[in-house]
């Protein structure tokens, strides 16, 4: 059950983060909602009710992550779950990527999650319990969208980090859970907000709503699951992809 849990959600001002916040609030969780966009974030917090704290911060900055932790602990007294949901796409062929492209993609998609895990870990270790939920992507499993080349790589990196954090702490702190959630195309502003522009995710086929993804994440928290896809059949698609890629015609 998520009722009574203290849950931090980064990237909570819209999309998956906002949908997750509203769903968790309806189930009785207390929330620290984090994003850069103050007005949009406060709107989400208001919808979530009195047990939602809005913290305007840029979690690609380690000092800001530390501040989020301090403010959450001051307000709620503990953290049970930390959801790393910050991410941004990029539309550029791999042959055209610049140093700035790579730096920006890694800062947003990797450093935000790395800082969250590193900085919250001491609190979880002291309590002997806790859960990280890292929101990845199907592109972190199958890099089939060429224009998302750097984003594909960042999500592969996030998957590896999550697995390695899990392995590092499996014996010493078995009650600290590192979960990975891999959605496909979600009907949010993700595509429109990609660096260098991009197609509107809402117009793409076989998409999911942010609310559907949020339901899966709630299940991941309730059941403390380790590695989850948000669409039926997605795991089989990944297996099939790697069983056929590179085969002779």
| Residues with a known catalytic role | 151
Closest CA to 142 of 127, 130, 152, 128: 152
Residue 164, burial from CB neighbour count under 10 angstroms (0-12, 13-18, 19+): exposed
Q: H/E element holding 149? A: helix 149-169
* CB-CB neighbours of 121 under 10 Å: 18
**Three-state DSSP state, 129:** coil
* CB-CB neighbours of 86 under 10 Å: 23
Question: What whole-number distance in Å separates Cα of residue 187 and Cα of residue 183?
Answer: 11
Rounded-to-10 torsion of CA 53, 59, 64, 70: 40
């Amino acid at each position: 059950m998520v009722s009574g849990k203290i849950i931090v959600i980064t990237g909570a001002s819209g999309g998956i983060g906002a949908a997750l916040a509203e769903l968790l609030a309806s189930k009785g969780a207390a929330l620290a909602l984090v994003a850069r966009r103050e007005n949009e974030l406060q709107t989400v917090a208001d919808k979530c009710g009195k047990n939602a704290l809005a913290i305007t911060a840029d979690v690609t900055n380690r000092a800001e992550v530390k501040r989020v932790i301090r403010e959450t602990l001051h307000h709620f007294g503990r953290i049970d779950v930390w959801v790393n949901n910050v991410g941004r796409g990029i539309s550029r062929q791999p042959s055209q990527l610049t140093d700035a492209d790579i730096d920006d993609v890694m800062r947003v998609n990797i450093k935000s999650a790395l800082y969250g895990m590193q900085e919250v870990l001491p609190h979880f270790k002291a309590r002997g319990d806790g859960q990280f939920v890292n929101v990845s992507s199907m592109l972190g499993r199958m890099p089939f969208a060429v224009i998302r080349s750097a984003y594909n790589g960042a999500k592969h990196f996030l998957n590896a980090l999550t697995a390695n954090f899990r392995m590092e702490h499996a014996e010493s702190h078995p009650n600290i859970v590192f979960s990975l959630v891999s959605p496909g195309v979600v009907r949010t502003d993700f595509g429109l907000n990609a660096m260098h522009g991009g197609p509107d995710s809402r117009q793409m086929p076989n998409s999911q709503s942010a609310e559907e993804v949020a339901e899966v994440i709630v299940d991941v928290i309730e059941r403390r699951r380790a590695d989850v896809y948000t669409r039926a059949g997605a795991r089989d698609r990944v297996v099939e992809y790697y069983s056929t890629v590179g085969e002779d015609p």
